[in-house]
Chain A
Amino acid sequence: MAQLVVPRERARRFAPWSVVGWLTILLMGLTMFGAFIYAPTDRFQGIAQRIFYIHVPSAWLAYLAVFVVFIASILYLVRRSGFWDRVALSSAELGVVFTTLALVTGSLWGRQVWGAWWVWDARLTTTLVLWLIYVGYLMLRSTMGDSPRTARFAAIVGIIGFIDVPIIHQSVNWWRTQHPTPIVVTPGENPALPPSMLLVLIVAVIAFSALYFWLLNARYRLETQRERIAELRRELQGAADV
């Protein structure tokens, strides 16, 4: 039975997403070329500045992912479809992965430029707290197992966690700040970032976004199949009992 189901699913679903997959690979290659060869070396920060092309897109994805969790959680509570619950779960996992990546790359850069692995600066602290909230979210899901109740409870945490982010940011911002202010979007006439660096950054952000959607789809399909297997197993169990 399983052999009949799998190839048909693959034939129907794989095609459009493989385009996103190839696009991601292409854009990622371009990003690496841009980050290591095309972009000039920063006069003050030296070679360490190049981690910026991975750090900034990762941080962007971290926040994008938790925003998707927030929207999917609301839609789950309203519509009650397993689709939105699986989207929320997949995006929360990606959120944790990219938050971790942003924290690690930021820490490496901080060691070179600030001379410290970690400082309790506003943006770092907000991102760390964000990481803690969504690790808690995943822990809640894993202790509860599969049930509509899990989906409901997770949705509640997903909503509260996201609403909290701006308040956390404001509070740690008043508490202290050391992170370099974003110079990409300064509201002046011309941005402080040289055009070649900005170009690489834009390509990197697009590449990472494509990666996010590709991974989200892959994780979503994995979750669908996992639930299907659990369902089949229960059916077989039922048949065996009769």
Chain B
Amino acid sequence: MIAKAALILEKDLRTELRAKDILTAMAYFSLLVLIIFNFAIDLREVSVDAVAPGILWVSFAFAGVLGLNRTFVREQERNAIEGLMLCPVDRSAIYLGKFIGNVLFMLIVEALTVPLFILLFNLSAVGFGLVPALMLGTIGFASIGTLFAALAVNTRTREVMLPVLLFPVLVPIVIAAVKATGFAIGTISPDLAIPWLNLMIVFDLVFVVVSYLIFGYVLEE
């Protein structure tokens, strides 16, 4: 099972590393959101530390949706999805491979964005608390994100449908990830950050398992 999921992951990573089109677009877009926020909020009047975690996560959420939307497009375009479904692998293995791929892509984009973010917003102290916040938030984002991307690619409105379905469901992740990032920046004390990290762990576990179990119903015909 794991080996089969790894094969799907490897296929996606290889095509992406050859073309690099999605990763570049995601990274560029997340930088763009940061810069637009800089114009939207006058940072001479607002405390940067207070708004920074929110800005960071809005940028990841938008870039993430961009990437998620492409998850199944390549398969859809030349009907390669049928080839994938004919493979002697469980549907859940397809989910797992795609899910891990999305987590990796988002983490790469985040790793590129964060230094620029610290630089552009002149943040003084960013602790290692950022690592669990980014990891847990991204896993939660990609768990339902990968499932819903598979639904959205089959609708008439494709790219529009994914954020419409996804963002309301991700409200707990957005709140918790912003709070946990606030802890990394130093606006929230550690004992207040622990419940948020726990909440993300619960969310991640619940929705990785549920999506994994339910994914078979998406790819049927």
| Chain A residues proximal to chain B, CB less than 8 Å | 77, 129, 132-133, 136-137, 139-140, 143-144, 149, 152-153, 155-157, 159-161, 163-164, 167-168, 170-172, 174-175
Contacts and interface: CB of A to CB of B under 8 A. Distances in A.
Given A152-B218, A159-B214, A160-B147, A171 B172 contact: yes
A129 B157 contact: no
B154 interface: yes
Nearest to A153: B151
The list of the 7 closest CB pairs from A to B, nearest first, reads A171-B172, A132-B168, A133-B168, A136-B165, A153-B151, A167-B172, A136-B164
Contact of B217 (A133, A140, A155, A167): A155
Given A129-B168, A167-B203, A153 B218 contact: yes
B172 A143 contact: no
Given A129-B168, A160-B207, A143 B217 contact: no
A152 B176 contact: no
B217 A156 contact: yes
A157 B207 CA distance: 12
29 contacts: A132-B167, A133-B168, A136-B164, A136-B168, A137-B165, A139-B161, A140-B151, A140-B165, A143-B155, A143-B161, A144-B154, A144-B155, A144-B156, A149-B154, A152-B217, A152-B218, A153-B155, A156-B147, A156-B218, A157-B165, A160-B210, A160-B214, A163-B210, A167-B172, A170-B199, A171-B171, A172-B172, A172-B175, A174-B199
B157 A175 contact: no
Interface of B: 144, 147-148, 151, 154-157, 161, 164-165, 167-169, 171-172, 175-176, 195-196, 199, 202-203, 206-207, 210-211, 214, 217-218, 220-221
Contacts, number: 82
Nearest to A137: B165
Given A153-B155, A167-B206, A170-B199, 11 more contacts: A136-B164, A140-B151, A140-B164, A152-B218, A155-B217, A160-B144, A163-B207, A164-B172, A171-B171, A171-B176, A174-B195
A46 to B, nearest CB: 34
A171 B147 contact: no
B210 A159 contact: yes
Nearest to A77: B217
A151 to B, nearest CB: 10
A168 B144 CA distance: 14
A69 to B, nearest CB: 14
A132 B165 CA distance: 9
